[in-house]
Structure 1
């Protein structure tokens, strides 16, 4: 049985972010980002290995984890396949609650940390999932032998395969703002530290087009490599210029795949929370 003291506030204190709510969209459901930080918070949906929760008032109804990204995971909730038990259950519960005039909030947890054991990065979301589900005992998580169950990455993958060939969820799922415009451009020379550590400093001019200190930021790659969700730091440089902090090892690996030490990388600020790195 869940501890009555474990409520939505506990998740927020752990670092979950209240990003939006579920809404009806015809016969299906869709999610809507809201609040003053909506533009920044939606970046969390692009982070891999993230946790999320569905909340009504102070009660935590569901806790899930995705190995890919919340944005991709929610395709199944919006338009579940006929054999997708988890998706169907949550889809039904959300629609029923909304029809009863209840608001179902969405919390996201995509910690941008440097936690490591030896040379290996620690996946904080994966480490928390089971213990949070056991403690909160969310009623929408389903049961196995009387105990709440978590979503397995293998189950997610199997469910999403069924969706291939189905109607695109782009019309019902919110997605990042797409724009062909470039707010600012900058380049970085891959000295030894940048090349090996994945540092990314846009400089003073380009930083004027970027978000606030502490905001999440997505790093996208012109070759289609998986997006890196990082964080804006404006305190590391005395000028207040942005430093991208978090996920730097993955950025370094991309540098090393496409460039040699000493090469110059062209970069574009697409919006206040998106930087694109370009392969020549």
Structure 2
């Protein structure tokens, strides 16, 4: 057995020695998750004794982090738009920058639901279900179809929907982009693979080693997925519908040109928390 304070201190020290820049934060996340404690326990109950098996589990998790594995991969979940989402090997970690897309389309989603009595959402490349589930959590009249080519990702998204009480309005759909999609939607959203060949080589180890390549690599120029999305979106979009895409920070003009060539009109450009252009809207 060991007390909470010493376990926290040991975890911070080990991660600092391993060169982890966020050593203090990551140590706290790992210790709290595997011990079932909260932040205030470290202040109010530093001498709290932790069972030997818990200490061993924490030490194993700390070693994984010291070896470069992302902290949220280790605990198996990450929060997105206030929702706890389980991760799996076939899903990306949902990042805070993607919340920009949710914020950008929420007004349209709410207006559509108020006017039509529903809002049908197609989430292409749904992964954990992050974008679709965030929108469903905010708009009770909305229904979403989460599309992915990876069965494991769909299983994860379905499990997340079930855990959040949203499974009745979320339909996991196995399809390679438009291949098996039928009908029209008020809103099409996507965070597709958009990393170019050159950028793949420069990715940090935590992303390159632990995020699924299929969800990252967008072809030599990073635009392959956008070409496929642009060519199919019109026949699956309701009149006055909206398409929203996450993009790489330098891809705005190139992606916009692809959609304008398919007859779309630009409807908005949004920047993320780092002030990088991150989301494009089209009608």
What is the TM-score when the length of structure 2 is the normalising length? Answer: 0.25
Larger helix proportion of the pair: 2
Q: Which has the higher contact order (CA 8 A, sep 6+)?
A: 1
TM-score for the superposition, normalised by structure 1: 0.25
Higher strand fraction (1 or 2): 1
